[in-house]
């Protein structure tokens, strides 16, 4: 197990190995790259939902059921988390749309 590649070569970690390794080539490599092919919008309109439906159609992040435990002749109620028979919520529309996390822009408020 050796050192990582960037430390072993002494290069800037975001520069390509074929770029020569000089400071001016490292700056040129960090310039904004324009995507080839189709243009991707900077906004996200949908996301995967984080909640679940149970058998009754209720929607929640977590479901619990009450169980009765008898200990030393005394009945006691405990909550047990349900993992079975849950249906994921699916795709959720975002209102308003969000900016994509990989979109290279700096937000600045005046």
Write out the two tokens for 25.
């080539």
pLDDT value at position 15?
A: 44
Q: Are 15 and 51 in contact (CB under 8 A)?
A: no
pTM listed for this prediction: 0.53
Rounded distance, CA 22 to CA 20, Å?
A: 6
pLDDT value at position 34?
A: 60
Quick: pLDDT tens for 85-101: 999 999 999 999 998 88
* Total Cβ atoms within 10 A of residue 93: 8
Q: Are 87 and 52 in contact (CB under 8 A)?
A: yes
Quick: pLDDT tens for 11-65: 444 444 555 555 555 555 555 556 566 677 788 999 999 999 999 999 999 999 9
* Spans of all domains in the chain: 48-99
Residue with tokens 């080839």: 36
Rounded distance, CA 58 to CA 85, Å?
A: 12
């Amino acid at each position: 197990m050796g050192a990582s590649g960037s430390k072993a070569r002494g290069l800037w970690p975001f520069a390509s190995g074929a770029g020569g390794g000089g400071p001016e080539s490292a700056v040129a490599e960090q310039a904004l790259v324009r995507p080839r092919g189709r243009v991707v919008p900077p906004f996200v309109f949908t996301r995967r939902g984080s909640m679940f439906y149970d058998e009754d159609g209720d929607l929640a992040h977590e479901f619990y059921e009450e169980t009765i435990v008898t200990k030393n002749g005394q009945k006691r109620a405990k909550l047990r988390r349900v993992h079975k028979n849950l249906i994921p919520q699916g795709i959720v529309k975002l209102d308003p749309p969000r900016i994509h996390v990989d979109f290279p822009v700096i937000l600045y408020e005046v």
